[in-house]
Structure 1
Amino acid sequence: MAMTISGLARAGGVGVETVRFYQRRGLLETPDRPDSGGLAGGVRRYDEQDVRRLKFIRLAQGAGFTLEQIGELLRLDAGQDRARARELAAERLAALDLKIAELQAARDSLRRLASACGALEEGPCPIISAFEG
């Protein structure tokens, strides 16, 4: 099933400019324009493989991989380098674990501040005082 860039974008749940951005970054191929004999040339066509790749990019971004890492994962897939793919995943997991720890610490601090704010009837609010520095 051949589709235009707008069809690809729709199938991937992104905008046309996002597809073009990924093409400029080398994450998606830009198909050649078929020669239609007219001045504007033919319309580029995309297929299901392009849709799968676009969805892969979006899912990898959702997992927190950078575009550079996604590009490397795509290249690794072609080369079957599972060890490097596991290494990239381990790096991403470590970064996520750190972020989770930071968010849990922030939640615990805010919970303590909210509790202190509720316990005091007078004086400055501990929440506001904490954020004023």
Structure 2
Amino acid sequence: MIKIGKVVETLSISADTLRYYEKIALMPKVHRNNNGVRFYSDKDLSRLRFIKRAQKMGFSLEEIANLLRFRENPQNAKPQVRELAHQKLTEIEEHLTELSTLRDELQLLTNLCGANPDSCPILDEIDKG
């Protein structure tokens, strides 16, 4: 069993976040000693690592809650997990396209700004909305 402070240090998760995950049932109620100090098991740490990794992949807390349920019976949940991952992949690809367009636009505006001593094309373009 590991104290909350060590979990915070090891996983780079704030104590407030850990308490919030418990409050919204993303984490089960963890063991507490008589003073109310939370202690986490290896299973809890595995679950927290799963949550962090899923967040890095762009899944929302609601989606992560579903993934955690699917994790309990992965063979039967495989089609749903695949569909959820496919949806996330589509969102990421759309976001990458938007970011690429934004990068190109900012590159152009930056070049124009350097070549125009009288006005700022960057501010002018942002002003257009």
TM-score (norm 2): 0.86
CA RMSD, aligned part only?
1.9
- Give yes or no for the alignment of 1:24 onto 2:23: yes
TM-score (norm 1): 0.83
- Give yes or no for the alignment of 1:65 onto 2:64: no
Report which structure shows greater RCO (CA 8 Å, sep ≥6).
Answer: 1
Match of 2:121 among 109, 115, 126: 126
**Is 1:73–1:85's contact at 8 Å kept on the other side of the alignment?**
yes
| Higher fraction of helix | 2
| Aligned-residue offset at 1:25 | 1.4
| Aligned-residue offset at 1:118 | 2.7
**Is 2:113–2:120's contact at 8 Å kept on the other side of the alignment?**
yes
How many percent identity over aligned positions?
33
Aligned to 1:37: none
Larger radius of gyration: 1
Aligned to 2:43: 49
**Is 2:31–2:40's contact at 8 Å kept on the other side of the alignment?**
no
| Higher fraction of strand | 2
How many residues align? The count is 126
